Amino acid sequence: MNEQETRIRLNELGFDNWFAARLDGTLAGTHSLARVSAVDRGAYLIVNEAGELTAELAGKFRFNAGSPADLPCVGDWAYVQYHNGGTLAVIHGVLPRRTFLRRKSAGRDVDFQMIAANIDTAFIVQSCHYDFNLHRLDRYLVMANEGHIEPVLILTKTDLVTPEELEKTVAAIRRAGVTAGILALSNATGAGMDEFRRLLAPGRTYCLLGSSGVGKTTLVNRLLGREALATRATSHTGEGRHATSRRQLLVLEQGALLVDTPGMRELGILGAGAALDDSFAEILDLSRDCRFADCSHSGEPGCAVRAAIEGGGLDADRYASYVKLKKESEHHEMSFVEKRKKDRDFGKFIKTAKKQLKGRK
């Protein structure tokens, strides 16, 4: 395969001039490029010009990773060396990420968990039946904005509501200040699927985000044209059950790339200050007219935000969502900074202890 053919194949997997300009000269000269297509409990799959195969991390790469967020995630471009006649791949590093999806790690651990990287558009999937939740939508929008990813809202299961109910749902989204594109569809009837397919461009990478049971897996199977992913029976509420168990990158027939993700029960916000301002831009705009530059919008005179709420220009529930996410992000950010300081102090202690031990020998 000549260099031009390889470049075309890599382009089909999403490689473009942005990544080419950021290649590490040393690694690129001795390693091949591949894209991470799945991560499952520390096991990796990569896809290259020849297809998909398993991969493992080089010991030095794993050791030098500052945190789990520095390890490869789905969508990353990786520097790879092949062994055993090309049947085994070893990942020695990853290229810079153009965009990313991350959240606070589930549970008490205060750190980032990577969901996917190098995504062009995030489809935020919510059922317009039982699952629809504006506060959860706010969290997904903050996640997309933080990672510099274009969000598009997909409302599924339109066959379970009346046209009037669907119209009210869309109106509620717009009243909440959400400006992202909205597409309504039904996996059961196929309504809206042609319009959805027209959003997918060859060589571009998309991601499906949403809770368990909103129809993500069925949507992927429709796009693939076959039952490639397992689905589970619907519950008594009419909602589906959790099916996807890992994040994975799929190549669609039309050449678009799609990352399917498991439903996430926790969507903790960490270090998302600027992304919050982007997601709640109308509140930021209003705050510029407050009398005091450091206005907390909690009772100061001349507060433009409180005046907008009282005058009906800003939805009180929308503002409450903003305050909650801001406090959560700031709280986790303080814990994260403290954790990082402890990690650095411990690292310095180990290095000092090693030097002292070496000096005694």
Calculate mean pLDDT across residues 207-235: 72
Residue 355 forms part of a structural domain: no
Q: What is the pLDDT of residue 243?
A: 44
Contact 302, 290 (CB under 8 A): yes
Calculate mean pLDDT across residues 314-322: 82
Do residues 11 and 44 share a domain? Answer: yes
Q: What is the pLDDT of residue 185?
A: 94
Q: Which domain holds residue 143?
A: 100-260
Where is mean pLDDT largest: 105-114, 124-133, 181-190?
181-190
Give the domain CATH number at 41. Answer: 2.40.50.140
Q: Among 71, 94, 117, identify where a domain stops.
A: 94
Of 175, 113, 173, nearest to 147 by C-alpha is 113
Do residues 71 and 111 share a domain? Answer: no
Give the domain CATH number at 296. Answer: 1.10.40.50
Question: In this model, does residue 320 exceed pLDDT 70?
Answer: yes
Q: What is the pLDDT of residues 56-68, one digit of tens each?
A: 999 999 988 878 8
Q: What is the pLDDT of residues 114-130, one digit of tens each?
A: 899 999 999 999 988 77
CA distance 290 to 299: 11
Question: In this model, does residue 267 exceed pLDDT 70?
Answer: no
Q: Where is pLDDT greater, at 183 or 2?
A: 183
Do residues 255 and 277 share a domain? Answer: no
Q: What is the pLDDT of residues 22-34, one digit of tens each?
A: 999 889 889 999 9
H helix or E strand, kind and range, residue 163: helix 163-175
β 32-40/247-251 pair status: antiparallel
Residue 173 forms part of a structural domain: yes
Sequence letter at residue 160 = L
The percentage of residues in the chain with a pLDDT greater than 70, rounded to a whole number, is 76
Do residues 150 and 90 share a domain? Answer: no
Residue 359 forms part of a structural domain: no
| DSSP-assigned letters across all residues of 117-146 | ES-SEEEEEEETTTT--HHHHHHHHHHHHH
Calculate mean pLDDT across residues 254-272: 70
Local confidence band at 159 (pLDDT 50, 70, 90 cut-offs): very high
Average pLDDT over the chain, rounded to an integer: 81
Calculate mean pLDDT across residues 291-315: 84
Do residues 61 and 122 share a domain? Answer: no
Total domains present in the chain: 3
Q: What is the pLDDT of residue 142?
A: 87
